[in-house]
């Protein structure tokens, strides 16, 4: 067996390369394991590459759509409640909030679907 003597700079270079590889794998695993939140959504969008990352973002938007759906129901009930009071200004405000919540819900559902589709396409 040949005796290979590597210089200190080669050993350090290989060590640094190995460490960089481990860190990048660890970072990708961390990104997939960490749920998408309001605090990290921008970062997750800018770093998404894998189907799992797209699916995690889709799940985030599904959660946002569900919350918006609750707002839709609440504002719809308020529109009906104010409708019987003769308070037209209040009824109009609630109707605008209802329409806004409905649009928000629709957009979140669309974003969730788009990311789920991207995850499916990337998995092929």
The tens digit of pLDDT for each residue in 26-52 reads 444 544 568 999 999 999 999 999 999
Q: For residue 52, what are its two tokens?
A: 């799992």
pTM, two decimal places? 0.70
pLDDT tens-digit series, residues 76-92: 999 999 988 889 899 99
> Measured between alpha carbons, how far is 25 from 121 in angstroms, rounded to an integer?
23
With CA atoms as reference, report the closest residue to 97 among 85, 89, 108: 89
Asked if 72 and 97 touch (Cβ cutoff 8 Å), the reply is: no
In the chain, where the domains are located: 1-33, 37-123
Asked if 111 and 61 touch (Cβ cutoff 8 Å), the reply is: yes
- Give residue for tokens 């707002």: 71
């Amino acid at each position: 067996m040949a005796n290979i003597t590597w210089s200190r700079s080669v050993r350090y270079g290989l060590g640094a390369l190995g460490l960089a590889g481990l860190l990048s794998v660890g970072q990708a695993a961390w990104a997939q394991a960490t749920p998408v939140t309001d605090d990290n959504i921008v970062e997750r969008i800018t770093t998404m590459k894998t189907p799992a990352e797209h699916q995690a973002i889709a799940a985030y938007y599904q959660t946002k759509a569900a919350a918006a759906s609750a707002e839709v129901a609440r504002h719809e009930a308020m529109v009906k409640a104010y409708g019987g009071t003769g308070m037209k200004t209040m009824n109009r405000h609630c109707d605008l909030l209802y329409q806004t919540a409905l649009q928000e819900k629709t957009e979140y559902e669309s974003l969730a679907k788009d990311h789920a589709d991207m995850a499916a396409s990337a998995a092929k």
